Amino acid sequence: MSNEVKKKSPPDPNSAKFKLGKIATDAYVDAQAAKDRGEMIGWCSSNFPVEIPETLGLAVCYPENQAAGIAARGGGERLCNISEDDGYSNDICAYARISLAYAKTKDAPEQNMPAPDFLLCCNNICNCMIKWYENLAKDLDIPMIIIDIPFNPDYEVSDAQVAYVKAQFLEAIKQLEELTGKKWTEEKFQEVMEYSGRTSRAWLAATSEAKHTPSPFNGFDLLNHMAVMVTARGKKEAAEAMEVLHKEYLENVETGNSTFRAEEKHRIMFEGIACWPYLRATSTGLKSRGINMVTTIYADAFGFIYDDFDGMVKAYCNVPNAMNLENARDKRVKLIKANHVEGLLVHTNRSCKLWSGFMAEMSRQISAECEIPHVAFDGDQADPRNFSEAQYETRVQGLTEIMESKKGGC
């Protein structure tokens, strides 16, 4: 028997995967380098307008991305336990628990990041974020800048809401200028806006290639690439890497290739944050049945297209967790129809009460409008104790069997 070990071929430095991975990694390296130069750096919530620190030339890290990385590498439970020992309920978001534990221990070999000098918080993703960041600010004794973007009960974003939020954007810029000594310039903002637009357009174009059958990509790719969309949209490298990604998907369409390495028998939409501690189990459970997750709401959510400052403010008022149910449903229905989706798999994420809470009714409405089955499984974005692989398997198999029987099989 041969003892030959199959060597992994080195990644192609010109590939989108390499470039996007490097941008995500460099975010931590750049922040550390800025810190080492004596500059002030921040921790930032995922839907805070990234254009503000980017235009000011401030390096920021994202605790949510760090927590996802820690959870995916097996450290979630350890850090959750530290926070729970400090009195935090295990009912609150696991990203928050991991982040608060990290702020205390200041070490996680799975993903370290430099200590912050200020915090940037925006509650358009959830209100747990406010208390999480307030506690970080108190524990670390550093300032916190908050932008309040309330949940929008109406279908459209009103001028009044834009005015309310715009005033806060301007105030946040002023506060950051005073705090860090950096200056906002219109020229730099125009440049950031241009890159952000290029990145977003390329992302939307790349993800829309799932309209082809088979899809030129595995939807789990999107869960990884979206880190760049969240944190680095306004960077030149991000725009270039996303354009390469789109080009690769177009090439796959022409050659009949795909990053989904199996026969694509069924196409589903995945709803919710990835179950990071069980990414392999959740992905294998689909792939082994020939199910490609061709789209998620991320495909639409991070395409921030705007032409000016007010447009940017409006875009941040219209992110998934801040929009009303009908608007959120219609965006998903559009993705389902455009990408020939046959089933909806919903992650009832114990960390995210907001997102999981509205999914029960939204799934019902989507299912009725698109005439596709929907199935929910229990899990968590970062706390491994909230997931059972056997229960997941049964639900996914049930979904598969329904999709098969609708095609006349089974």
Q: Which residues bind another protein (CB under 8 A)?
A: 348, 350, 360, 364, 367, 373-376, 378, 386, 388, 390-391, 393-395, 397-398, 401-402, 405-406, 410
Please report how close the Cβ of residue 348 comes to another protein at its closest, in angstroms. Answer: 7
Q: Are 141 and 63 in contact (CB under 8 A)?
A: no
Q: What share of the chain is helix, strand, coil (3-state, %, to 5)?
A: 55, 10, 35
Q: What gap in Å lies between CA 239 and CA 9, rounded to an integer?
A: 26
Please report how close the Cβ of residue 93 comes to another protein at its closest, in angstroms. Answer: 17
Please report how close the Cβ of residue 259 comes to another protein at its closest, in angstroms. Answer: 26
Please report how close the Cβ of residue 74 comes to another protein at its closest, in angstroms. Answer: 21
Nearer to another protein, 196 or 363 (CB): 363
Please report how close the Cβ of residue 243 comes to another protein at its closest, in angstroms. Answer: 40
Nearer to another protein, 167 or 360 (CB): 360
Please report how close the Cβ of residue 373 comes to another protein at its closest, in angstroms. Answer: 5
Diameter over CA atoms, the chain: 73
Lookup: tokens for 202: 């390329």
Helix or strand holding residue 348 (H, E) = strand 343-349
Q: Are 195 and 239 in contact (CB under 8 A)?
A: yes
DSSP one-letter string for 52-100: HHHHHT--EE-HHHHHHHHHHTT-HHHHHHHHHHTT--TTS-HHHHHHH
Nearer to another protein, 71 or 375 (CB): 375
Nearer to another protein, 39 or 393 (CB): 393
Nearer to another protein, 295 or 386 (CB): 386
Per-residue exposure over 170-189, b if at least 16 CB sit within 10 Å of its own CB, e if not? eebbeebeebbebeeeeebb
Please report how close the Cβ of residue 162 comes to another protein at its closest, in angstroms. Answer: 37
Nearer to another protein, 31 or 336 (CB): 336
Helix or strand holding residue 122 (H, E) = strand 118-122
Nearer to another protein, 74 or 398 (CB): 398
Per-residue exposure over 302-322, b if at least 16 CB sit within 10 Å of its own CB, e if not? bbbebeeeeebbbbbbbbbbb
User: Which amino acid appears at position 345 of this protein?
Assistant: L
